Chain A
């Protein structure tokens, strides 16, 4: 069965500093990988997704993620964060042969410090 582990429940970072949010997954088959962001009192918004091809995926708002099959990781990065990036970030996985269901991690809360 597939699962997603987000290693940090909270990440504090100073404004304009770089950030990395970690995500590891487990699956016995090929996967699709996603990062979603949830701002307070809002639904989820897709930041980026990996389906196939290049392992470096660029998304919205300056975020990018790298798929590493050998380490079963899909870490999210941004070179310089802004106060507006304060939100909950969810990593998610879907099995390639069963793409109706997306499995989410528990989320990482990003705190931007002034």
Chain B
């Protein structure tokens, strides 16, 4: 499985944008980039996913580098409820197992 690397932790001020980076230099041409997040004492929740083009949804934006070796999850205005561990994961098909790395622990400062 292609692996991803993320910073262990990041901080953001409330109401400011947050850019969470993910490196996946060994990504294959058919791997999708998924982002999930886990709030304290809850199961993970889906945030966004993409293949080549940048993606936007109500929660976040996903910016994918042209060579696809990295991507960035963008939270446009961080709120206290966005404090969570964010996981960047690669999967080829829906049938693939979702394997979690350490993720990035995001703290949001009021």
* A and B associate: no
